[in-house]
Amino acid sequence: MMKNEAALDVRDLRVVRGGREVLHGVTFEVPRSSVIGLLGPSGCGKTTLMRALVGVQIVASGTVTVLGEPAGAPALRRRVGYSTQKPAVYTDLSVSENLRYFAAVLGAPRSDVARVTDEVGLGRHRDQVAATLSGGQLNRLNLAVALLGSPELLVLDEPTVGLDPVLRQELWELFHELAARGVTLVVSSHVMDEAGRTDRLLLMREGSILADGSPESLRARTGATDLEDAFLRVITETTASPS
Ligand SMILES: Nc1ncnc2c1ncn2[C@@H]1O[C@H](COP(=O)(O)OP(=O)(O)OP(=O)(O)O)[C@@H](O)[C@H]1O
């Protein structure tokens, strides 16, 4: 397996949804083994970009290369994990039953069920029916499904929504542990305080990437200590000096 190619190589990606262009020529490259934050206000195109990465979004033009293959290629099926914003699990099955089912569908080893249950901290709830889980627990079950089969790329749409600060901290630790093991993670959020926990930030607004770099470089570039301020300064810069 080629390990040296980029995890993601997106070139001039344009996407039209509902007759309107919602991604306007997005270009970026992501190396392996890192935690990439996709940040931006609601409706800026984060989910659309993630859908393009996992190959379920019709694209108008541009290329999306994932782990050296075109996004959505059959060879990527087990190498890419995706968790959508809305949990996509069976509400009438328990945590373990859901995970056993998805492990079978994905061809992941049965032993993964215990591992991912543990990783997302749902051990005490393993026999609980999904319908009775809290919102945060349901999000974690959704994330656990994405972790099955040990994918090389994880695309996680707002995985920390509705979680308390302790759980959020634990999940970010898990993301960095996974990255240290060679996994690449793309994590979206619209909460700026999460931005500082990433290795690299893609700041999006209205279908374009406004800034791309580490949290430190963004702070240095804008002179802002707070990432929320940094983002606002980037927006002002871009609006003030159109190129
Ligand atoms: N099925 C659709 N048909 C038409 N327009 C759509 C569709 N899905 C999304 N859009 C539009 O595409 C744009 C980008 O949406 P997207 O869901 O990617 O944003 P987002 O950044 O993920 O937002 P949020 O943080 O609220 O989830 C929005 O303007 C949205 O209204």
**How far, in Å, are 14, 115, 193, 233, 242 from residue 219 at the CA level?**
29, 37, 13, 10, 21
Tens digits of per-residue pLDDT, 19-72? 999 999 999 999 999 999 999 988 999 999 999 999 999 999 999 999 999 999
In 3-state terms, the chain is what percent helix, strand and coil (to 5)?
40, 25, 35
Task: State residue 87 phi and psi, 5-degree precision.
Answer: -55, 130
Per-residue pLDDT averaged across 63-91, rounded?
Answer: 93
Range of the domain at 94: 87-150
pLDDT confidence bin for 208, thresholds 50/70/90: very high
Q: Is residue 163 part of a domain?
A: no
In a domain, 198, yes or no: no
Answer whether residue 134 is part of any domain: yes
Region 69-89: mean pLDDT is: 92
Residue 113 lies in a domain: yes
Which atom of ligand 1 is found nearest the CA of 49?
Answer: 18
Ligand 1 mutation target, pool 16, 17, 83, 190, most atoms within 8 A of CB: 17
Q: Look over the chain and give the mean of its residue pLDDT values, rounded to a whole number.
A: 91
Domain-embedded: residue 131: yes
**Cβ contacts of 125-130, under 8 Å, gap ≥ 24:** 125/95, 126/94, 126/95, 126/96, 127/94, 127/95, 127/96, 128/94, 128/95, 129/91, 129/92, 129/93, 129/94, 130/87, 130/89, 130/90, 130/91, 130/92, 130/93, 130/94, 130/95, 130/98
Asked if residue 97 is part of any domain, the answer here is: yes
- What is the 211 CA–ligand 1 centroid distance (Å)? 20
Contacts with 205 (C-beta within 8 Å, 6 or more apart), sequence order: 40, 41, 44, 235, 238
Kindly state whether residue 76 falls inside one of the protein's structural domains: no
| Chain mean position to CA 126 | 24
Question: Is residue 117 in a domain?
Answer: yes
Mean pLDDT calculated for residue range 5-17: 95
For the chain, the domain total comes to: 1
What pLDDT, on a 0 to 100 scale, did the predictor assign at position 11?
98
Structure tokens given for 31 = 């190396």
Report ipTM for this prediction.
Answer: 0.94
What is the pTM assigned to this prediction?
0.91
- So what's the pLDDT on residue 161? 84
pLDDT at res. 3: 54
Banded model confidence at residue 5, pLDDT cuts 50, 70, 90 = confident
H or E segment at 232?
Answer: helix 227-240
Atom of ligand 1 nearest to the CA of 204: 21
Give percent of the chain above pLDDT 90: 70
Q: Is the CB of 74 under 6 A from ligand 1?
A: no
Distance, CA 45 to ligand 1 centroid (Å)?
Answer: 6
* Most confident of the ranges 80-89, 115-124, 220-229: 115-124
Query: Phi, psi at residue 175, to the nearest 5°?
Result: -60, -45
> 206 is written with which tokens?
């209205």
For strand 69-70 and strand 208-213, is the pairing parallel, antiparallel, or unpaired?
Answer: unpaired
